[in-house]
Each structure stands twice: as structure tokens, then as C-alpha cells.
Chains A and B, each alone.
Chain A
Amino acid sequence: MKISNQTLYNINKNEYHAQQESTLKDAMEMGLTEDEFYLICNKIKKIPNKTELGIFSAMFSEHCSYKSSKKWLKTMPTKAKHVIQGPGENAGVIDIGDNLAAVFKIESHNHPSFIEPYQGAATGVGGILRDVFTMGARPIALLNALRFGSPSELLTKHHVSGVVKGIGGYGNCIGIPTVGGETNFDKSYNGNILVNAMAVGLANKNRIFYSAATGAGNPVIYVGAKTGRDGIHGATMASTEFTDNSSEKRPTVQVGDPFTGKLLLESCLELMSTDAVLSIQDMGAAGLTSSSVEMASKGSLGMYLNLDLVPIREDKMTSYEIMLSESQERMLMILKPGSEEKAKSIFDKWDLDFAVIGEVTKTGRLILDKDGFEACNIPINPLVEDAPEYDRPYEIIQNKNTIKINELNINYTVDKILAKIFENPNISSKRWIWEQYDSSVMGDTISSNGKSDASIVKIHGTENSKSLGKGIAMTTDCTPRYVKSDPINGGMQAVCEAARNIAASGAKPLAITNNLNFGNPEKKNIMGEIVGSIKGISKAASFLNTPIVSGNVSLYNETNGKEILPTPVIGMVGVIDEVENCLEMNAKEDNTLLVLGQSENFTEGWIGCSIYQEIENKIIDAAPPPVNLEKEKKIIDILLQLHTKNLLTAAHDISDGGLLTTICEMLFKNNLGLNLNLPKSLLKSDSKDPILHSWCFGEDQGRIIVATDKIDKVNLFLKDSNLDYFVLGKTNASNNLNLKDITTICISSSKNLFEKTLPLIMGKHK
């Protein structure tokens, strides 16, 4: 690098400081440990300047390096015949037939959303969408998994309102339908809410784009929005615990611009339809740092960037700031030499910045110039390969306490409990939330927001004379209280529930993206939750042949030392060959309801860790319902077989709130009634009978209620299947669910409770 007098005059004061040697103190302020600082000096054989240190601290952060979880993530099942790309790229890719690929991923934006709910959630959506279209896929659906604090806290309302507006604000504007998700409340999230956003896209199986840099000398292109000072060191913030002063970190929250996101989406897809793009990487966490380093590292090459050429929107930004900014809606690309002009014309058309900022090199080093000086010159390998990998001590605590039903102190009658269940914000309708999301834009939404157990979006252009076309089924699931009591079992349960939901919508479960949200991994019990749930998820995913193809880990979800409930969210994707055959959860009149996976002799339900137990006894110190993987697999197979024979009219998985809750939910839409069959031994119970309660509200796994208008054929089929089932009765127009002489539940009143709970909580809070 030649330094002329001219350039010497041009260096600004802050840039001069950024290029000065750093100290251990700087390293600690950036979230690195003393050992990590010395490791860095050792590996690069010099003391890094502040820009170089900033780049290391971002790459070594938990968020980018997965240093606490990597050891265990490697043990997850990631392969299957239908997997095209597993973890390690921007998103996972699976083969869904007809030359098509589904590209999907879930990602957290927890820490920023707590500090600034609207922007945190909006950029979470924007970020996950970029991950998907970076792979060359057009996003077709968004989902989310949200966890908020106690509904009675004022701050919770502020969070719910802001996060929901933020998710809608981005998704609605960019025009991708938000079709499903889940929302729970628990006081453990008071100080750390969870905002996990999932995006699903579609691509031609042979036109997937990857991030590995190719060809020394090829131009490196920056496109999209300009770089500002927003979000500097966001990845580092997301890798530490919160304290009471965390709101001071508001300036490190990124600001989203869905309009620019839409332009970037359209322009990138337009460019990707040509042959100009060799590799592409979005600038997400740790911005230009992680995108350039990952591209170079994956291609075993180096990269030279002239930071003076980066489009900036604020004056005098330093190399440190440019490299660590998390400004949104930006992409880094490597183009085929000579195609720059063609590419530029596309971005000009969409009024987006386009700049050639450097080139791929053979050096294996990241070299950055700024103001005519070399601001950074470090080897790429140590940034990725030498990122620490910790084998943190762990202890998996599995609660083995079982609840003895007869020892329960019963306070309420069946109907009263049911009312309390529907008033529970974790069960109640989330209409207040999902009506704020555009769920029907793109015109392909078949089922959204609870019409069926999984959301279904039609694959555009697959319609033919026989069918309206193929569809993708999607769901997100996790029951954190089960995971808390038994991480292994809870991990398995989340996978199984997701698979049941996909199957209950009429689709075949195919693959998983997961979002592992936990507290501080430096604590033995938290690390135990991480390891335990990974074991559970792995076991179930491998048994059901639904491999994990992408995911994200969010740790340090603690405030003042109090951790969240362990929340390993499973996002699952499946395929339905003919969308017109999707199954709703709403039963129709004169249909027979039967529960698959439960026998006539079954009377004592599992109430440990159930919603019922929370309502009746306020104890959660018990083992969650056990998971039997063989049964889970079988029930999915049988359900899909029954459905293929066209014997089913509706299906709904039994989860939170148990059998009775599930039946009611199926009757709600059409205000139906049912004279419920009871097992013989329960016929004489009264409305406070503990066994009856456990039968009604137990949360035993591996059960799905199906509806049929061809009960004889279903009976015939099931007799040979060796699967337990129990006929619950025939739906009628009465609007009453009768439990013999024990009690009668008015369906429309229950629905009223179910619908009004969340609006009451949110009240006038907008």
C-alpha cells in the first residue's frame, strides 16, 4: 500500500485510533476472555489493532462461533436422502420432488427485541428472509415462535404489542405471508423475551446459491442499503446476559427497512436468474465481518476490501464501525468477472446501492484498506477454525416425580377447569396477534393461523388438470415446561408434536430447523438443559427421519442471573402432494370423532407437568408425559394412511390441555355438539372425580383426534392396524358437549372465553 501525503492528510482521527494496537482491556470490553485475547495474538503473531480485535471478538462471540454448543450440535442427525444442504449455510435445503427445493431456517432475535421490541422483531424477520433468498429461493411463508413474560406485567404488554407490530411491519410490507406460529407466556421470560422467526422459501433444486468464495481476482460486490452506525457489535450483545442497565444498549439494536428489503429481494432474485452470481452471503449478525470472513473461509481463499468504497450513510465512519455495523438489507456477492455492468443495471433499476469493493485473493488473509492505510491484515483461518470450542461441564436433571392422581386435592368441576383452560393465555386464541399479520398475500395460503394443525402454502405453479398443486406444511412447536422438567424427554416431545401437527394437516413430515434458546451455558444445569434437549431432539428426529437442516442457538437468555425456561423450538416442514387434500382441525356435523393412540381401557391420564396441574394444584414439580417414539411414528403412519384412503374429514393433535380441550377446539368453528363416550369405569364419576379429570385433561403423548364420515371403513382399517383407538362420539348441531350425566359444556360460551382472553389482556394497549 502506497501512502502519499494526500492520503495521510485524509485519515480521520477516529480511524487513526481504530488502527492503533489494542489492549487486553479492549478485548474484555468487547466480550473476549483473557485466554481468548492471548490466543488471538498467538495465532496472528502480532497484537491486533482495534479493528482487527473487533473482527475477532465478533467472530468469537457465542452468536457467531457457537462455542458452547458446537460440540453438541455436531451430534445432531443432519442427513437423509432428501437433504440437499444441511446446517452450515445460510439456510437448510431439502428436495421436495418435481425439481423443487424447500429452503428454510429459524433464527432468534431475542436480545434486541427485549430492548426495542418493534425494531428487534422486524429485523429478525428481515434477517431470516435474507437467509432464505440468499440461497436463491423466493420466500413463500413466515412463521414465528414467541415467548413473553407474565401477562400481568405491564412490560409484557409493551413487548407483545411491539413485537407483533414489528413482525407484521416487516412481513406485511415485504409481502410474504405470516402463516403460523406459537405464543406463550411465562414469568421466566419477564426479563428475556424470545422472538424466533422462521422463513420458508422455494427454489429450483439445481439453482441453489452458496456462500463459498470462488476464483481469486473475482470482484466482491456490495449491494443493498448503505452502512450506518446501527447495530455495531450486535452479535456481541446477543452473547451476554442482561442486567438492569440493558436498555442502555438500545443503540446496538439494528433498524429494519422492509421497503429496502423488498427491493433487495426482487433485485437479488432478478440477478440470480442470470449467470452472474458465483456466491452470495447476506450481512446479518456481525455484518461485513462475518459475511466476508465466511465467504473467504468456505472457499479457502482470502479477501481484499477497500472500505472507502463501501456505501456509507454517515460521515467519517471508521474501519471498525464499517466492519461491525449491523445495518440491515445488505448483501455481499462474488460475481463472474465482466458481469458487473449487467448486475449494476439491475440494482440501478431498483434504486439500490451497488459497489465493487474488493476482490477475492489467494492470500488466505483478510486485508482491509481505509483512508489509504491498511486497517486490517489478518489470516482468515484462525477467525473460523480457531474460534474456541468449549466442552462445558453439564448436568442433565430429569425430574422423575410422578403425580398420584388419587392424592390430588380437587378444587374444581370439569366445566370450571375447562373454562380456566380457555382463559389461560397459553391456550386461548391468538387471533389478536395473527390478525395483525398479512397471512394471505401471494395468494397461495391454503391454511393459516390454526385452521389446521400445520400451516399450508401452495407451491406456485404446480397446479395441473388433476390437482390445485403441491403444498408445503409448516409448524413451530416447543413445550418449555416439559423441557425444564426433563430436557431429553422435552426435546423428543417437541419434535413429535411438530411431526403430529404436520401429519394432522395431511402432510408428510420431512425436516427440521431448530432454535435453541437457553440461559447461561456456563452454569452446569443450563448446559445440562442444552445437552439434554439436543439428545432428545436428535433421538426423535432420527427415529422419524426428519433431520435437522438448519438452526440457530441463542444463549445467555438471563437477566440478573435468572434464566428463561429452556426453549428448544422445533420448526418443521412437510409436503402435501395435493393441497386440496389438506386436513382442517374443524369438525363438521354428523362426523364421528375418534382418538388414535388411546384405548378404551385407558382411564388414568398423565397430569404431571400439565396445564391442568398448573390450574388445580400450582405444582409443576413432576415428570412430563413420557414419549414413545414407536407409537409416535405409528400414529403418523396410520393417520396418513387413513387420509390417503380419503376417510378423514378433520384431525387435531392432542397437546396442552388434553383430550377435552382438543375436542372443544374441534367443535368451536361450527358450534357443534357431541355426546361424549366415556370408558365404562368413568360412567359413574362425578364432576370432581380425579380419575375423570386425568382422563379429560391428561397430556399423554402420541394421540391425535380424527373426524370421519365413514366410521365403518375406519373401524375396519384400524382393527387390522394394531393401534389403540377409542370412538368419542358423533358430532351434532346442539352446541353442547355432554359428558353423560356428569356435566354439559356449552361450546359457544367456551369459544367466547377462548376468543376474549388475549384481547382482554392487551386491553387498550396498542
Chain B
Amino acid sequence: MRSGVTIFPGSNCDRDIIVALKNITGKTPIKMWHKDTEFPNLDLIVIPGGFSFGDYLRCGALAARSPVIKNIKNHISRGGAVLGICNGFQILIEAGILPGSLIRNKKLLFTCRDTMLEIQDTIISPFLSGLKKEHHLNIPVAHNEGNFFASETLLNELKNDGRIAFRYIKEVNNDTDYNPNGSSNDIAGILSKNGRVLGMMPHPERAINNLHGGTDGLKFLTKSFEQIIG
């Protein structure tokens, strides 16, 4: 699989996802510097987490105006797959590639912890079709602005179109704090209309070996990559 990882000034999970991609696919992804515009054709582009441009103005707002975004849009129009993680999700929204907005966590605090994700019934998507719905994913989050917010109309549309990828769910019955950021409908990740762009707040690249506390991230990434190459 040919993959690329975008790097903006302030990206800080680029190395982590590069390591994960390399371990899983055996190939080192290309680094896509935000100012560059010439890239080979790729199967997958990952927009990693971090604080692109220091999160100044709004998370992802400045990165969404970088030259590399044009390449990402072209890649999408060719049917290419894109995975935006955390800040990458914020950038996809700011670039108008995914709908809605990500506002500050309900408690107004940065939150870093494990979350349990439920896989939703979705349209066909390379990121989800390899996963069994009944298997929940334990993947950590670490963010300050992960509270997915949208109008009722949009929320219904996302739901009816099968574009909600993951929801935070309770691990145990009495857990009242299972949604780490207060996002609408417990949404943790959404898909584009064609199902080939996924934005998610949790960090799968931080759950790829047992010492991380689990390998659900590895499972998710491995299955996704299998589907992307088809």
C-alpha cells in the first residue's frame, strides 16, 4: 500500500502513525510537508494528530489553508482514502471535507484517557467493513476540542446515511463519564459521503501493542489497510 502522512508545523503524532503504518504494511509512508504540492499517487493519506500551527485561530483552521490540502482534495476526488486523526479530523472539518464542527470539550479541560468505541452500521467504507460490529474498540483519546457539534438536521442526515463511524459507549453500566468530550450523540468519528474519508478523535496509533494497554488500534488499522488495497 502506498501511503502518505501530512506534516504541518505543530503536527506531533506524525512519527507515531508512520511507525504504525510501517509496522503494519511493511512500507514506510511518504512524508507530505504542508508547503509541498507534488506527490505520487497514493492509496491512503493520513492527517495525524497534533497542534498544527499551534491551534491558533481555531484548531485546524490554518492547516486547512495549506498548499497540501489541494492535493488531498484531488486525492479524494480520485477516490483515494483519507484518515484524519484528532487534529487531522479537525483539519478535515475546517477544510470542508467533513461536515459539522469540533468544539471544546464539555468540561473545558484537555482529556487524555482510554475510551470504548462502538462500531456503527455504516455505508460501505474501507475503514469499517473489515471490522465486526459486536467487537468494541478500546482506543485512547487526547484532546481539548473533540466535542462533535452539528445541527439536528445534520445529525439526522449523518445517522440516516450511515456516516457515523464510531460512538463512545459505556464500558460498565454505571459509567456516567464514558463520553470524554460531550459530543452530540456520543459521536467519535464520521465518514464522508463516499465512505472513503474518516475523521476520528481517538488515536488508533496509540493502541498497537499490549504494553499500550491494548491492540485494538492495531486491529482497526490492519483491517482498514487490507480493505483499502482491496
Contacts and interface: CB of A to CB of B under 8 A. Distances in A.
Nearest to B206: A440
A431 to B, nearest CB: 9
Interface stretch (B72-80, B95-103, B105-113, B161-169): B105-113
A500 interface: no
A440 B212 contact: yes
A40 B20 CA distance: 59
B54 interface: yes
Contact of A440 (B50, B56, B112): B112
A257 B54 contact: yes
Contact of A259 (B9, B19, B49, B209): B9
Interface stretch (A244-252, A412-420, A441-449): A441-449
Select the residue from A437, A443, A468 with max chain B CB neighbours within 10 A.
A443
Interface size, A (range): 20 to 34
Interface string B116-147: 00000000000000000000000010101000
Interface residues of B, number: 33
Interface string A573-587: 000000110100000
B43 interface: no
B15 A173 contact: no
A654 interface: no
Contacts of A165: 109-110
B28 interface: no
Contact of B10 (A168, A173, A437): A173
Nearest to A440: B206
B51 interface: yes
Contacts of A440: 112, 140, 142, 203, 206, 212
Contacts of B56: 259
Contacts of A441: 12-13, 16, 49, 142, 206
Interface string B8-48: 01101101100110000000000000000000000000000
B208 A437 contact: no
Interface in A330-353: 350-351
A172 B211 contact: no
A620 B149 CA distance: 53
Contacts of B111: 435-436
A10 B199 CA distance: 56
Contacts of A579: 211
B146 to A, nearest CB: 13
Interface in A495-509: none
Contacts of B10: 173, 259, 262-263
B178 interface: no
A259 B142 CA distance: 17
Contacts of B20: 443
Interface string A162-198: 0001001100111100000000000000000000000
Nearest to B50: A175
Contacts of B50: 175
A71 B55 CA distance: 46
B109 A259 contact: no
Given A172-B51, A257-B54, A439-B112, A446 B211 contact: yes
15 contacts: A165-B109, A168-B110, A173-B54, A174-B12, A258-B51, A259-B10, A259-B55, A262-B9, A263-B9, A351-B9, A434-B112, A440-B140, A441-B13, A441-B142, A580-B210
Interface of A: 165, 168-169, 172-175, 257-260, 262-263, 350-351, 434-443, 445-446, 458, 468, 579-580, 582, 766
